[in-house]
Amino acid sequence: MSAQHEAGMATTHRVVILGAGYAGLSTVIQLASRVGPGENMRVTLVNAQERFTERLRLHMTASGQRLAELSIPELLEGTGAHFERGWVTAVDVNAKTVRIDDERVLPYDTLVYALGGVTDTAAVPGVEDHAYTLNSAQDAEVLADRLSRLGRGTVVVVGSGLTGVESAAEIAERHPELNVVLLGRGEPGAAMNPKARAYVRAALDRLKVEVRSGAEVVKVLPGTVELAGGESVAADAVLWTSGTRVSPLASAAGLTVDEHGRIVTDAALRSVSHAEVYAVGDAAAIRQGYGVMHGTCQSGMPTGVHAALSILRELKGKRPKPFRFGYYHTPVSLGRHDAVVQFTHPDDSPRRLYLTGRVAVRYKETVTAAPWPTWGRMKKMPASGVFWPRGGRFTRVREA
């Protein structure tokens, strides 16, 4: 073996993963579980905090329920992955470095960009200053504290998407003394089939949530939400769930992004402008046959798994395979004792089949609860394949 070849064999390939959400953690667990003592790869995960944010359950935290505090460093114990706590302040795609807290610089050979989206509080005046969000467990806890001290009052939830529906239902069930108003441009459950949509509306009515569809909020003031047309709604607390935005870091770095700031990827989830950068989860504009995917945990975890397997393939001198994904279901909780699960076609359009009531509650808890057990199983799996949850099952995917 030549000296040059031996030097190449000894080079450690540095993989840096930015963001420890559902997609980022799926990536790091898949990679780290396959890095043995003789492997020439170093995996580093960067995240602003050590606590994992269960975004799918933040509406529960906001209503005053306590969830387990899940530690990312504890999850990574025994995997060989390194954890760096801090805010990513810059990415230099030319130097292949990441700057953290403007103090530390991490070099990389492969970068996985998993800095997901947050609630867009900049599009409407007053939201940043006068509304609560569910961007983190801390944000949700601040709202929970406010609700616990309201006594009797009005809580306005802005946004009739799934987060808004789940939040309004959870708050109304947990705080029956409060008047809960759900404002949105569309009907709650608009993407569901008519019967499932009617079930959502009936559940909100049962919980005494006042639903106002076709409402466009133009300004949030202390104690008031102003609507287009001059009408206003009194509010003792406002929860904003309408719209998301992504970090401007990708655009500032010179990566090709779409009109929403998401990194445009090729079929294998690599940046179309910088092939050494993978983008996963909400941070990526991933095109499938039915269009660009929208960010959910359901799709985010598989993108992380696929990125990990693609990196491993490239290190073996193989070409990464195209990513293929089809949606399977839309689970929506309606408080702790009710739910709707709308099964979907791969393009996310609704099927006729749906579940309601306690059966739907059990289904949702099974497939969308904290993925800690799933990641725990990933850590212990042989290198021949991976699993991720899909529709209540675990789907095996071979690396070869």
CATH class of segment(s) 3-48+86-117+246-325+370-398: alpha beta
Backbone angles phi, psi at 201, to 5 degrees: -65, -40
pLDDT value for 373: 62
Q: What is the pLDDT of residues 282-318, one digit of tens each?
A: 999 999 999 999 877 788 999 999 999 999 999 999 9
pLDDT of residue 102: 87
Helix (H) or strand (E) holding 111: strand 110-113
Task: Taking the CA atoms of 158, 159, 164 and 165 in sequence, report the sign of the dihedral they define.
Answer: positive
* The predicted structure's pLDDT at residue 162: 94
Angle between helices 372-380 and 22-32 (to 10 degrees): 20
pLDDT of residue 381: 53
Report pLDDT for 3: 41
pLDDT at 77: 87
Note whether 3-48+86-117+246-325+370-398 and 121-242+327-369 share their fold: yes
Exposed / middle / buried, residue 125 (Cβ in 10 Å: 0-12, 13-18, 19+)? middle
Strand bridging mode 237-240 / 244-245 = unpaired
According to the model, what pLDDT value does residue 374 have?
A: 65
The pLDDT value recorded for residue 38 is 57
CATH code: domain 121-242+327-369 is 3.50.50.100
What is the reported pLDDT for 294? 87
Start-end of H helices in the chain: 3-10, 22-32, 58-62, 72-76, 127-130, 137-148, 162-174, 194-206, 249-253, 297-315, 357-368, 372-380
Low-confidence residues of the chain: pLDDT under 50: 1-9, 382-400
- Domain extents for the chain? 3-48+86-117+246-325+370-398, 121-242+327-369
Angle between helices 297-315 and 22-32 (to 10 degrees): 30
Task: Please count the other Cβ atoms lying within 10 Å of the Cβ belonging to residue 261.
Answer: 18
